Structure 1
């Protein structure tokens, strides 16, 4: 189940519960909005609740994409009698996640499209356009310029090995996916690597810190102790750097350290935290307003992400156009240089 499906389910369930509809009837109503002829994950959840299980237990058993953070908050709401309130908090958190994800897609989609178009244009020229010029150049008695010779050589290589390149690309992609799925160490290495890439690391840092601080804040507001909040954060994180951070802070908290000292001593400190965030954690903890400070940090990092994305997009768009123009322009110049030289000789 993807994020949008979880968000839609949560909002529908929260709205129905706030209107006074019993839980089981809420689920049946939500199920009726989907195709009844097809098997649906809610069928199993409804059956489990009819057998006497709690919603949080039924969702855990269903294994349909609801993480420990989601189910943990549901369990708190069930025991406190505030399930509709907790569902509202969860839906707000899911909306925050979706906004962060859409912002990342925004910054990645445009460069990917431009690079794909540029690669397609260059490949097309190397396979179809340049060979037609090569036949013309063969009739010249003069020696071709080095740039033209290089381009012709690259064209011949592309024509001969284009399928080898494509096959190699897909094999590398498949092997990378396999290693990513099967190897935790590979996932951890990739997560750490992205946080070391210049420019991109700042964007990812804001995304991860906004998500992490918002998660801890919601758990704290719901009455979850800080230690348990760290355990839940570690279990539900999809980034190994954040997971390791939560685990290390949990261990240091158990040893009697406070949260800002634990953050400094964690191995993820240099990758994730900036000095200001550490100081604000310290101020929040010492003043007894840690939850408010975590919410402030989440909003702060979201705003910084917006600012950085705007600046990056303003810089990246013309830069990519210039790079694409330079590549295509260089190829065109390389093709017409021999013709210019021939004109001078004549």
Structure 2
């Protein structure tokens, strides 16, 4: 009878190694499950080479986002059309999952409890599938990797590291903290952009309404009088006539321009230019830059704390920073490390990261406290981001109000001046 060596998590979350006799690997896993253990690795004692190959294959598969065989291509294609879970909801689920495991509840029982209380039907379906995969012998990371719309490469790799170390509950708590911070960071940036955008949209809507409906009626009355009109009134009437006659073409040009911009950003070169431009914008560039650096530091630190090597962590960080320019810089850092450089040198030489970041990373490498230093960088830039948002909001509000007042005031003046002239005649 074959002998299988295994690594498994006990019901208390501890890692246990041992051997078990069974006809097949599936039978061996069933035996261990009956002893309330969750298998993370298993291999035949006589086939250690296949174990090594399997480990390398898993690692490569996770970093390239290629999913497992069961249901393979079809399930991935179907998954692409399913809605994604919000970052805050995923953080809540992850924290609940961690709490259940930390309480000593077995993995499958914890998933059952989460399925029963789940209010999102899409997440419920995914969790049921994950539980079925675990029951059939796969580990948690492999099961989650088959749902890329819900569980990112970062999430899956951290779970894999947690399973291997025997501290899955701790890693899940770190993931939940990370997701919560990312959601908060994204919310702050959106709040800074949304309010000015709403003010501009409302202002444009008012101007369009005045130019399309109010001004034409009043200007028609002025034309019927046959009196000479002030210059600003003539300008307003010309603009109103143009808006009334060609608004459909203007709208069509805006739609075509939007599609063109979207297709341009869809290319690697276009995305790189667009993201580089975002970082150089005179007002919002600082905002986007600080958000990207904070995300880089926080993600890198979280992955390193979970036990992933620096090179693998950088690969994942490059995928989640959500800025093509920063991704290019991180990939360059990765290549330089392979050539023998430290992490800090390519960061200092890049034009994206401020010098302070490079020097702090250098101190972290030399002191052996890189994770803590990265956390400080993330916290520092998050605080700066808050201050930047407050400054931008306080600065942009009066600027937009003044601009709208000038435009609306021009329209009112252009209409009232000839009316006042007529009233004094």
Would you say 1:231 and 2:311 are equivalent positions?
no
Would you say 1:330 and 2:410 are equivalent positions?
yes
**1:185 to 1:54, Cα distance in 2 relative to 1, 3 A:** same
2:201 aligned partner: 116
Would you say 1:273 and 2:358 are equivalent positions?
no
- For 1:124-150, what per-residue CA distance to the aligned partner results, in whole angstroms no more than 9, with x for missing partners? 001110011112211334322221111
Runs of at least 5 residues in structure 1 that lack an aligned partner in the other structure: none
Q: Is the 8 A contact 2:347 2:357 kept in 1?
A: no
Distance 1:37 1:147 in 2: 59
Provide the aligned length of Structure 1 versus Structure 2: 340
Distance 2:95 2:180 in 1: 10
Would you say 1:250 and 2:250 are equivalent positions?
no
1:106 aligned partner: 191
Instruction: Give how far 1:35 is off.
Output: 5.9
Would you say 1:126 and 2:206 are equivalent positions?
no
Distance 1:306 1:237 in 2: 19
**1:35 to 1:273, Cα distance in 2 relative to 1, 3 A:** closer
Instruction: Give how far 1:36 is off.
Output: 9.5
Q: State the secondary structure of the residue aligned to 1:21.
A: coil
1:260 aligned partner: 344
Larger relative CO (CA 8 A, sep 6+): 1 or 2? Answer: 1
1:193 aligned partner: 277
Instruction: Give how far 1:187 is off.
Output: 2.0
**1:175 to 1:46, Cα distance in 2 relative to 1, 3 A:** farther
Specify which of 214, 222, 225 is matched with residue 306 of structure 2. 222
Q: Is the 8 A contact 1:41 1:64 kept in 2?
A: no
2:262 aligned partner: 177
Give the stretch that moved more between structures: 6-15 or 276-285: 276-285
Distance 2:120 2:401 in 1: 50
Distance 1:202 1:64 in 2: 30
Q: Is the 8 A contact 1:44 1:62 kept in 2?
A: no
Instruction: Give how far 1:178 is off.
Output: 4.0
Mapping for residues 133-148 of structure 1, pairs under 5 Å? 133-148=218-233
Mapping for residues 1-346 of structure 1, pairs under 5 Å? 1=84, 2-34=86-118, 40-180=125-265, 182-265=266-349, 269-270=350-351, 272-343=352-423, 346=425
- For 1:104-136, what per-residue CA distance to the aligned partner results, in whole angstroms no more than 9, with x for missing partners? 111011111101110110000011100111122
Structure with more helix by fraction: 1
Instruction: Give how far 1:37 is off.
Output: 7.9
**1:41 to 1:5, Cα distance in 2 relative to 1, 3 A:** same
Q: State the secondary structure of the residue aligned to 2:225.
A: coil
Instruction: Give how far 1:73 is off.
Output: 0.8
Instruction: Give how far 1:215 is off.
Output: 1.1
- For 1:55-77, what per-residue CA distance to the aligned partner results, in whole angstroms no more than 9, with x for missing partners? 11111112233221111110010
Distance 1:159 1:203 in 2: 38
Distance 1:107 1:153 in 2: 36
Runs of at least 5 residues in structure 2 that lack an aligned partner in the other structure: 1-83
- For 1:31-61, what per-residue CA distance to the aligned partner results, in whole angstroms no more than 9, with x for missing partners? 1223698772222212211111111111111
Distance 1:259 1:126 in 2: 58
Distance 1:297 1:128 in 2: 54
**1:105 to 1:35, Cα distance in 2 relative to 1, 3 A:** closer
Structure with more strand by fraction: 2
Which structure has the greater CA radius of gyration? 2
Give the stretch that moved more between structures: 288-297 or 109-118: 288-297
Distance 2:157 2:147 in 1: 15
Instruction: Give how far 1:179 is off.
Output: 4.1
